[in-house]
Amino acid sequence: MIQIHNLSKSFGPQVIFEDISLSMSSGEKLGLVGRNGSGKSTLFSMICGEQGYDKGSIIRPKNYNIGVLPQYLKFTHDTLLQECTSVLYGEKEFDEFRAQKILMGLGFTEEDFARNPMHFSGGFQLRINLTKLLLQDFNLILLDEPSNYLDITSLRWLKDFLRNYKGEFILITHDRSFMDSVITHVAGINRKKIKKVQGNTEKLYEQWNLEDEIHEKTMINVEAKRKNLEQFVNRFKAQANKATQAKSKMKQIARLPIMEKMTNERLLSFSFNYYPTNSKDFLAAKDLCFHYPESPCIIKDFNYQIFNGDRIAIIGKNGKGKSTLLNLLGGILNGQSGMLKKATDLRVGHFGQTNILNLTLTNTIIEEIQSSNGDLSNKEIRSICGAMAFEGDLAEKKISVLSGGEKSRVLLGKILALKTNLLLLDEPTNHLDIESIEIIMNQLESYEGAVVMVSHNEGILRSFANRLVIFQNNDINCFEGDYDYFLDKIGWPDEDNEKNIKKKGSRQQSKQRRSEIIKERSKVLKPLKDRIDFLENEISKLEKDLKFYNDDIIKASETSDAQKIKNLSIHIDIAHKKIEKNFNELTEIMPEYETLEKKYQSLLEEDDG
């Protein structure tokens, strides 16, 4: 299997990695996380040999084939099916069946099979490349942000495909729920280092946080000890009868580790600017119709009301009209017929993909955000720039040199420059990293106004929406309820034709099966969960004890109470050892618990299917 040893990589003065090591075992499915710009895609390029590194080694076994999704769009065959099967060998009929199955899972229809690949949109052409990648028998495949060009039904299909995939893969995605549902391990790049754990992203972030806390507390303890020893040396080094002790203390000082304060990555820090309103009815669409020139109607007789406090998700396949509907609601497009009634004090903030394209490339970040609200002072604009992680000179960068994620943050900053009570958001989390997405979703949760969002991210849909507008079967349906309730009551009928053909028995039989699975799950998981809760509580108590000891040792060092410092140091050492022991047991139990939990969740989902 692939092994990475002591790898370092820099671009000029910017260090990306520093002596990182990573290995994969047979059958591992690895998620790769890290802030935008941390080097995830760079690592992919080095693994597949497209980019060099400064030092270290990447060991690939002999005949170990690595597949990567090409971003270039070059097709050599006349039909979609011929293009996809061209990468295969063996019986043609079997090859075509495999290709058809994957193509339909990724959103193509039987009618598409005979179309020329060059006649598809850019997003669907990337799906053609993904089909060709998944058809081949690679030992390892590298998937870099597949959710950026897949819609919700295609992502659900890909999730099932990756769960059952027999080889290894490394996945980069900003869709945390998608990643957690398919991986066995996760590796994270942070502060130029990499850490890998068994389990999901939650476990990695918890371990990072715990290590940061232990580092900070240990540093406080070391510095307190250093200060105490230095005070002793300074006080007694000139006294003949204490000179030997002073020299001994100086040696102890020399042996103390030099611990640096953890560097913190820049995080978004903001809240949406709410425009107060007494209106309850924000917006009403009546018999709204829209079509593009010389095209059929895509929004027909649409009736809907948006109320203050609503959390509405617009969902469905790509190309069906989700963004068009959002633009109609925001007044960017005008319908050919129907009416849109707005509250008099409605203030709209619109985050759209076309808005990103319309950023003025010659502007600086400051100028672009200021163009949203000319009444704001330079200090206020700078504050918004800082909230979007563009501090100091970074705010002077031109829009033309920004990445996709940075442009998304600029557009978000333009919305923050306005007072709003209705937010219309078209996939605002695209191009953002997991940490930034969580911050945005937390702020949306506390936002006092209404939010309408287009999203394919099922984790976001589950945590966010209480109403849905669904583009399905060439129709628009309005659903009152959350996403899980929708899946239970309606679902995506065309996402897996094989499941739709299979009959799982009566509703009563399904309920009985679910009851038996849930009962067995509780019996198996409860002892493990109880032990996990106990260990986590013990770690929490010990950390509180550590804080108490550290506070006391600082006070003792100020009074030069050597005996108390010695006793407290013993207590601190014992607490650290207990934390480590409990944490080690926790890291052994958690994978077992998560594997079993995933197994029972899969059984329940199969029963739903």
Q: pLDDT tens, 425-457?
A: 999 888 778 888 888 898 899 999 999 999 999
CA distance 294 to 87: 38
Tokens of 119: 């006649």
Question: What is the predicted pLDDT for the residue at 197?
Answer: 92
Alpha-carbon distance values, 172 to 48, 195, 211 (Å): 15, 15, 24
Element (DSSP H or E) covering residue 198: strand 193-198
Question: What is the predicted pLDDT for the residue at 545?
Answer: 87
Angle at alpha carbon of residue 537, lines to 534 and 543, rounded to 5°: 140
Question: What is the predicted pLDDT for the residue at 476?
Answer: 94
Alpha-carbon distance values, 502 to 107, 269, 496, 585 (Å): 21, 49, 10, 43
Tell me the three-class secondary structure of 246-273, residue by residue: HHHHHHHHHHCCCCCCCCCCCCCCCCCC
Cβ–Cβ under 8 Å, residues 184 and 178: no
Long-range pairs, 387-395, Cβ under 8 A, ≥24: 387/268, 387/269, 387/270, 387/413, 387/416, 388/268, 388/270, 388/412, 388/413, 388/416, 389/266, 389/267, 389/268, 390/365, 391/266, 394/365, 395/364, 395/365, 395/366
Q: What is the mean pLDDT of the chain?
A: 86
Question: What is the predicted pLDDT for the residue at 231?
Answer: 84
Question: What is the predicted pLDDT for the residue at 274?
Answer: 92
Question: What is the predicted pLDDT for the residue at 472?
Answer: 87
Question: What is the predicted pLDDT for the residue at 469?
Answer: 97
Q: Which residues of the chain have pLDDT under 50?
A: 495-506
Question: What is the predicted pLDDT for the residue at 77?
Answer: 93
Question: What is the predicted pLDDT for the residue at 453?
Answer: 96
Q: Which residues contact 470 (CB under 8 A, 6 or more apart)?
A: 315, 316, 476, 477, 478, 479, 486, 490
Cβ–Cβ under 8 Å, residues 429 and 453: no
Q: Which residues contact 93 (CB under 8 A, 6 or more apart)?
A: none
Quick one: DSSP state of residue 364? B
Question: What is the predicted pLDDT for the residue at 262?
Answer: 60
pTM for this prediction: 0.70
CA distance 195 to 208: 9
Burial level of 588, CB count in 10 A (0-12/13-18/19+)?
exposed
Question: What is the predicted pLDDT for the residue at 259?
Answer: 64
Question: What is the predicted pLDDT for the residue at 505?
Answer: 41
